[in-house]
Amino acid sequence: METKILICMGTSGISAGAEKVESVFRKDLEQNNLIDKCQIIRTGDRGLFRDVLVDVITPELGRVVYENIKPVNVSDIVHKHILHGRPVEKLKAGKDYEQFFSGQMRIVLSNCGDIDPENIDDYIARDG
């Protein structure tokens, strides 16, 4: 499995600068010869306004959720997490992030934050 970088591109994410965050990710990945080893996925809004939300999923570490990400934070995530396998602790979502979602059972929005809502293949791959 390749590394996946999920970036919240819902209304709140875009308002918080998600498009610039994505652009900086692409540039940093290219500069570090990682662009072919990482997949950037533009996801929908999850309903928690801590944008820009970025999830990094690697085979070694699984899923790590980062919150309030700005373009200036991207280099740390690429170098520390993706290149060296050490999550950036100061940028990780806290326990309140987990608590917000723990009491929810998402049905209609169960794939929100995991797939690109504009990609029909992502939807079909989830039995859509």
Quickly name the fold that domain 3-95+105-125 has. Glutaredoxin (3.40.30)
Q: What is the mean pLDDT of residues 80-88?
A: 96
Higher pLDDT, 99 or 101: 99
Asked if residue 52 lies in contact with residue 42, where contact means CB atoms within 8 angstroms, the answer is no
Q: Which two tokens stand for residue 39?
A: 């997949």
Calculate the average pLDDT of the chain: 84
**Over 70: is that where the pLDDT of 72 sits?**
yes
Compute the distance between CA of residue 38 and CA of residue 13 in angstroms, rounded to an integer.
Answer: 21
Give Rg (Cα) of the chain: 14
Average of per-residue pLDDT across 13-28: 96
Going by pLDDT thresholds of 50, 70 and 90, the confidence category of residue 12 is confident
**pLDDT, mean of residues 11-23:** 93
- Mean pLDDT, to the nearest integer, of 10-25? 93
